[in-house]
């Protein structure tokens, strides 16, 4: 089956010794893909450069190799896709299409705040996928800050409720892998 990923990263390429806050066993369990069979979600939280996108893509690669349909989008791209389809009166069809992939990676939630309308469209998607298909979400914001992202605590709570009901959260605390060589060279502190 076709995998729609922007680039390929694998779990084998991931250096777990660099990021000790990640429980290796949890990632190994996820790589077994029972979360996909059960339509459960994965939330990867942490500051920039700690490997959130890498791990999200690597899990999607595993799922694609196992024959599941996967799709990768930035959250920004998802929101503009939903808004456009609403303007063009084909929101239902678009939501249906986005419910189809067994694994949907939504990358980079939290960099841009959403309007209420955008947040409610996002909620509709999460609600459709709930208990049917897995969503892997990455964010640089902790759950407490989600109210701010969605501009509305009620919608934020409803989204968190669906997303986290059956889910695994990895809270990655550590240094940016992007900066490690620069840091070593004394270019940043
Ligand atoms: P984030 O999404 O958390 O900002 P990325 O997943 O994009 O971070 O990681 C930044 C870069 O560093 C990517 O090229 C990624 O492959 C690499 N990287 C991050 N963490 C590791 C790691 N522990 N081992 C190997 N490569 C890593
Ligand atoms: Mg990223």
pTM of the model: 0.94
What's the CA-to-centroid distance between 179 and ligand 2, angstroms?
A: 14
Ligand nearest to the CA of 55: 1
What's the CA-to-centroid distance between 2 and ligand 2, angstroms?
A: 22
What's the CA-to-centroid distance between 104 and ligand 1, angstroms?
A: 19
Calculate what percentage of the chain has a pLDDT beyond 70. Answer: 96
- Beta strands 103-109; 134-139: pairing state: parallel
3-state secondary structure 119-135: HHHHHHHHHHHCCCCEE
Higher pLDDT, 112 or 39: 39
Query: How long is the chain?
Result: 189
Which ranges in the chain belong to alpha helices (H)? Answer: 24-31, 34-37, 52-65, 75-87, 91-99, 116-129, 146-150, 153-165, 180-184
Residue nearest to atom 1 of ligand 1 (CA): 49
CA distances 182 to 47, 52, 65, 108, 179, Å, are 17, 20, 35, 24, 5
Which of 48-57, 107-116, 180-189 has the least mean pLDDT?
A: 180-189
- What value does the CA radius of gyration of the chain take, rounded to a whole number of Å? 17
| Secondary structure class of 14 (helix, strand, coil) | coil
What distance in Å separates the CA atoms of residue 61 and residue 103, rounded to the nearest whole number?
10
* Rounded mean pLDDT, 134-153: 94
- Torsion sign over Cα 73, 34, 48, 183: negative
Atom of ligand 1 nearest to the CA of 56: 6
Residue nearest to atom 10 of ligand 1 (CA): 49
- The whole-number pLDDT of residue 103 equals 98
- The whole-number pLDDT of residue 188 equals 66
What distance in Å separates the CA atoms of residue 48 and residue 17, rounded to the nearest whole number?
18
- The whole-number pLDDT of residue 3 equals 59
Relative orientation angle of helices 75-87 and 91-99, to the nearest 10 degrees:
150
Atom of ligand 1 nearest to the CA of 46: 3
Is the pLDDT reported for residue 119 higher than 90? yes
What distance in Å separates the CA atoms of residue 5 and residue 50, rounded to the nearest whole number?
19
pLDDT range class, residue 1, cuts 50, 70, 90? very low
Pocket of ligand 1 (CB under 6 A): 9, 13-15, 18-19, 46, 48-54, 138, 177-178
Is the pLDDT reported for residue 6 higher than 80? no
Calculate what percentage of the chain has a pLDDT beyond 90. Answer: 87
């Amino acid at each position: 089956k076709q995998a729609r990923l922007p680039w390929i990263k694998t779990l084998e390429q991931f250096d777990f010794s660099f990021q000790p806050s990640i429980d290796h066993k949890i990632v190994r369990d996820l790589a077994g893909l029972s979360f996909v069979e059960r339509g459960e979600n994965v939330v990867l939280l942490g500051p920039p450069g700690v490997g959130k996108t890498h791990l999200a893509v690597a899990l999607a690669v595993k799922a694609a190799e196992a024959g599941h349909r996967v799709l990768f989008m930035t959250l920004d791209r998802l929101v503009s896709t939903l808004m456009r389809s609403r303007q063009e009166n084909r929101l239902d069809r678009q939501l249906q299409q986005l419910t189809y992939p067994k694994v949907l990676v939504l990358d980079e939630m939290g960099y841009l705040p959403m309007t209420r309308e955008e947040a409610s469209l996002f909620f509709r998607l999460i609600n459709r996928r709930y208990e049917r298909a897995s969503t892997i979400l990455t964010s640089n914001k902790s759950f407490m800050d989600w109210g701010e992202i969605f501009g509305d605590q009620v919608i934020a709570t409803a989204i968190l409720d669906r997303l986290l009901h059956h889910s695994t959260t990895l809270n990655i605390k550590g240094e940016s892998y992007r900066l490690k060589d620069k840091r070593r060279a004394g270019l940043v502190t």
